[in-house]
Amino acid sequence: MEFFNRNHKRDIDLLWLLTHKEITLQYKRTSLGILWSLLNPLLLALVFYIAFTIVLRFQMKDFSLFLLSALFPWTWFSNAVSASTVSLIANKSLIKKFPFPKHFLLSAGVISQGIHFLFSLPIIACLVYYYGKTAGAIWLIGIPLLLIIQFIITMGASLAVSVINVYFMDFQFIVAFLLTMLFWLTPIVYPFDTVPETYRLLFLYLNPLTPLMSSWRELFMFNAIHWSWITISILGSIVIFCVGLLIFKKLSKRVDEVI
Amino acid sequence: MSEFVVELDHVWKEYPLQRDRPGFKEYFVNIHKFMKRKGEENSHFYALRDLTLKIARGECVGIIGENGAGKSTLLSLMLGTIFPSRGDVKVMDRVTPLLELGGGFHPDMTGRENVILNGVLLGFTKGDVLKKMSSIIDFSEIGEFVDLPVRTYSSGMYLRLAFSVAIHTDPKILIIDEVLSVGDERFQRKSKEAMLNLIKGGVTTIFVSHQMVAVKEICNRAIWLDGGEIKAEGEPEKVVDEYLRH
């Protein structure tokens, strides 16, 4: 059934209100508030620093910039996908009461995590200058481009996991595991070059996060855009988005019967 | 000459009888069952069976019936929060629900923030809601509490605010599920009056109630649902009496 009085202004307002709600409520009644979204990856980076640089004594140049330039975007992806997993169930009172497009709940989650990521960009910029590098004009092309690609990938994954979890509650635990697995199978704490030659193509083509995270790092550390990586990640993002949308469309009409 | 604003055409709504979500194990063990879900008649429950119904603009339709007769399912279908398993539901205008009032409120958001979100969810732009904000607050009589988180409200204040939002959104089709009692006695009278004004003003109303007196008083048509089917339909007096005798 079509909702009759649908207009775009109202949709934009709704999306913004839901996003705003996500952002303000996530850290409501905490004293550090939105700082937690920066503190979490920073503390994680500290742990990796201890493990890799102090204990294992890996020699990595500009380690904190190297790590954070991929860890911050990863955090966006990972937080958004795990929030989406339970999003439909958490918002069931809204879903049952109001006729509105359910995917707005997911877009709001992905956008709000994306905004948290934007707050981390100044930290990255500081590190760039701390290590004696500069921010190039290419950032102005690179950042929006990568933001869009990452939004599409994250949205595709969110659409799929959210609706599957309504039917199989076990799925949230599987997603948690998959995210951990994906974290270690994506060049985040190690550079793409260290992946053995035989596996490189697998890493690159089976996991669109590989070219994406590597591109973020390439951009921030070397002011460069690796166009073949961008192409692969765009293709990957389209595939993931279409599959996610298909699953969501197929399953979401019956969500009311099981929620 | 009368124009239909709600049309249900041979509508069926089925629910899986096992309401608990199956886990992965059950799913894979019984995968053949899940694959041909349509074939297994007895694993499903039909909340509505082959229901055909038309409601004209300006009508006030009372829906009566025992618990589990499919009344709420019918309302949700008209609202558009659920979809029919078979058949067709057409709703030609904006639907405003007065069901489980305040269910969409978030306890950590202020009354004002909740009013805006609620209004936008009901189909308005933020600008529309802001224009009506002062009359919404006035009608609800919650005063300064509007800028406090909703979790600090008494249940009466909560309902009053939710009711106030719903009736201020210029309803075209009003769906009411037994909410004639909002707040204290005085506010109850006030809210009832506001609703009656809307109904008399020509708003199409679908009204589910167990208060037979109210149905007789307000509605100009009554529908008796039983087991997901229409058992009787017509003059409220006649249908209600028939229902009570049964």
User: From the candidates B112, B125, B148, which should be mutated to test the interface with A, based on the most A CB atoms within 10 A?
Assistant: B125
Q: Do A99 and B94 touch (CB under 8 A)?
A: no
Q: Is B175 part of a structural domain of the chain?
A: no
Flag if A4 and B91 touch (Cβ within 8 Å): yes
Which residue in the set B15, B106, B120 is minimally distant from A14, CB to CB?
B120
Residue of B109, B123, B125 lying closest to A21 (CB–CB): B109
Taking the CB of residue B15, how many other CB atoms lie within 10 A of it?
17
Task: Report pTM.
Answer: 0.87
Q: Within a domain: residue B15?
A: yes
Question: Edge to edge, what strands does the sheet with B60-64 contain?
Answer: B95-98, B173-177, B204-208, B60-64, B221-226, B229-234
Residue A2: inside a domain: no
CATH number, residue B74:
3.40.50.300
Whether the pLDDT of residue B27 is over 90: the answer is: no
Q: Which of B13, B77, B120 to mutate to test the interface with A (most CBs of A within 10 A)?
A: B120
pLDDT at A4: 46
**pLDDT tens digit sequence for B162-171:** 889 988 988 8
Amino acid present at A10: R
Distance CA B99, CA B151 (A): 20
What is the residue range of A142's domain? 8-258
Task: Please give the average per-residue pLDDT across A60-66, as a whole number.
Answer: 88
Q: Are A26 and A48 within 8 A, CB to CB?
A: no
Q: What is the pLDDT of residues A18-44, one digit of tens each?
A: 999 999 888 887 888 888 888 988 999
Cβ contact, residue pair B81, A93, below 8 Å: no
Domain count, chain B: 1
- Chain B CB within 8 Å of residue A25 CB: yes
- Is ipTM > 0.90 here? no
pLDDT of amino acid B1: 44
What confidence tens digit (pLDDT) does each residue in B56-102 have?
A: 998 999 999 988 888 989 999 999 888 999 999 999 888 888 887 77
B19, B24, B109 member nearest A170 (Cβ)? B24
Report whether A150 contacts A212 (CB < 8 A). yes
Four-point Cα dihedral B232, A98, B135, B132, nearest 10: -120
pLDDT tens-digit readout, B186-228: 888 888 888 888 888 889 999 898 888 888 888 989 999 998 8
Residue B52 counted as domain residue: yes
In a domain, A3, yes or no: no
Residue B55 inside a domain? The answer is yes
The whole domain housing B40 covers 4-94+208-245
Is residue B9 included in any domain, yes or no? yes
